[in-house]
A and B are shown apart, each in its own frame.
Chain A
C-alpha cells in the first residue's frame, strides 16, 4: 500500500485525469451561463491532454516504448485547438449577447424545430 502511495506512476495521473473529466462534464451539465459551459469544455480538453502526456511518459506494455514524443505533440495540438475553439466560441457568445441581451443558453433555442 505504501508503495502504491509513494511511487507515483501512470495510474495516479490517469485518476487525476478522470476526476478532471468528471468535473468538466458536470460543469457542462450544470451551468446555464454559456461561458461556464466553455470552461467545462476546457476542463475536458485538459483531462484528455493529461492522458496523452501520461501515456507518452510511461508508455504502454507491448504497445509502445517510453519515453516518446507523440503524446506531447497531441497535447500541443489540443492546446492550439482549445485556443481556437475558445476564441470562436466567445465571438459567438458576444453576438448572442448582442442579440438576446443575455448569455443564458436556455434562451438560445431559436433554431429548434
Chain B
C-alpha cells in the first residue's frame, strides 16, 4: 500500500499536484453548483464559503500565496460574514424559500451552459500552451514584496482610488442601512 502510494506520488509528472488540483477544483466547482441547486439561503452561504476556500486553494496552486491569504481573510472572512448578516437581518425565517418556476430555471441553466460551452470551444481552438508545465517559481521569489512595491508604484492611482472608494462605500452603506426615524 505504502509502496503503491509512493509510486503514484513519485511519478515524474505528478508530484501530488494534479491530485490536489482535482480535489480542490472539484470542491470549488461542486459547491458552486450546489449553490445553484440549493433552495435554502443559509445553505447557499455555506456552499459559498467552501467555494471561496476552494478558490483560495487554487490561488495557492498558481503560486499566488498572498492572494490566497487575502481571499480567505477578506472574502471568506469578511464578505461572506456580511452576506450571512444580510440573510439574518432580512428574513424573519432564515430557512425561507423563494422558489422560481421550472421554466425559468431551465432557461437560466441553458444560458449558463451555452456561455460555458462556447468558452470551452474557444479554448479548444486557441493556441493555448496545452501541455506546458508550470514555469518554476524563481528562487527567492517573494510575491508579497513585489505586490507591495507594485501597489505603491505602478498601481498607485488605482490603489488610492480603491481607498477612496472604500471610504465612500462605508459612508454610503452606513447611511443607507441606518435605522430611519418614522
Name A's B-contacting residues (CB within 8 A).
3-16, 18-36, 38-40, 42-43, 46, 49-50, 53-54, 56-59, 61, 66-67, 69-70, 72-73, 75-77, 79-84, 86-88, 90-95, 97-98, 103-104
**Cβ contacts under 8 Å, B66 to chain A:** 72
Given A30-B104, A39-B45, A86-B82: A58 and B120 interface contact (C-beta under 8 Å): no
Q: Which of B99, B100, B116, B143 has the most CB of A within 10 A?
A: B116
Cα–Cα distance between A9 and B21 once the two chains are bound (Å): 10
B13 nearest CB across to chain A (Å): 4
**A21 touches which of B13, B119, B169 (Cβ 8 Å):** B119
The 6 closest A-B pairs by CB, nearest first: A29-B108, A23-B32, A32-B98, A22-B116, A26-B112, A91-B176
**Mask: chain B, 47-89; 1 = CB below 8 Å from A; 0 = not:** 0100110010011011110110011001100110011011101
Cα–Cα distance between A73 and B67 once the two chains are bound (Å): 9
Cα–Cα distance between A59 and B35 once the two chains are bound (Å): 31
Residue contact B28 to A20, C-beta cutoff 8 Å: yes
**B99 touches which of A32, A39, A84 (Cβ 8 Å):** A32
**B129 touches which of A10, A46, A91 (Cβ 8 Å):** A10
**A79 touches which of B70, B107, B112, B172 (Cβ 8 Å):** B70
List residues 136-180 of chain B with CB under 8 A from any CB of chain A. Answer: 137-138, 141, 143, 146-147, 150-151, 155, 158, 162, 165-166, 169-170, 172-177, 180
Cα–Cα distance between A32 and B100 once the two chains are bound (Å): 7
Q: Which of B21, B79, B111, B130 has the most CB of A within 10 A?
A: B79
A65 nearest CB across to chain B (Å): 9
**Cβ contacts under 8 Å, A25 to chain B:** 108, 111-112, 115
**Cβ contacts under 8 Å, A42 to chain B:** 48, 52, 75, 79, 83
22 interchain pairs (CB within 8 A)? A4-B130, A4-B131, A5-B18, A8-B18, A9-B132, A11-B123, A14-B119, A16-B28, A19-B116, A22-B113, A23-B36, A31-B98, A33-B41, A33-B98, A35-B45, A57-B134, A59-B135, A72-B143, A83-B75, A87-B82, A103-B90, A104-B98
**A53 touches which of B32, B59, B151, B174 (Cβ 8 Å):** B59
B74 nearest CB across to chain A (Å): 5
Majority SS at the chain B contact face = helix
Closest to A25 in B: B112
Cα–Cα distance between A35 and B18 once the two chains are bound (Å): 35
**B35 touches which of A6, A23, A98 (Cβ 8 Å):** A23
**Cβ contacts under 8 Å, A9 to chain B:** 129-134
Residue contact A43 to B132, C-beta cutoff 8 Å: no
**Cβ contacts under 8 Å, B177 to chain A:** 90-91, 94-95
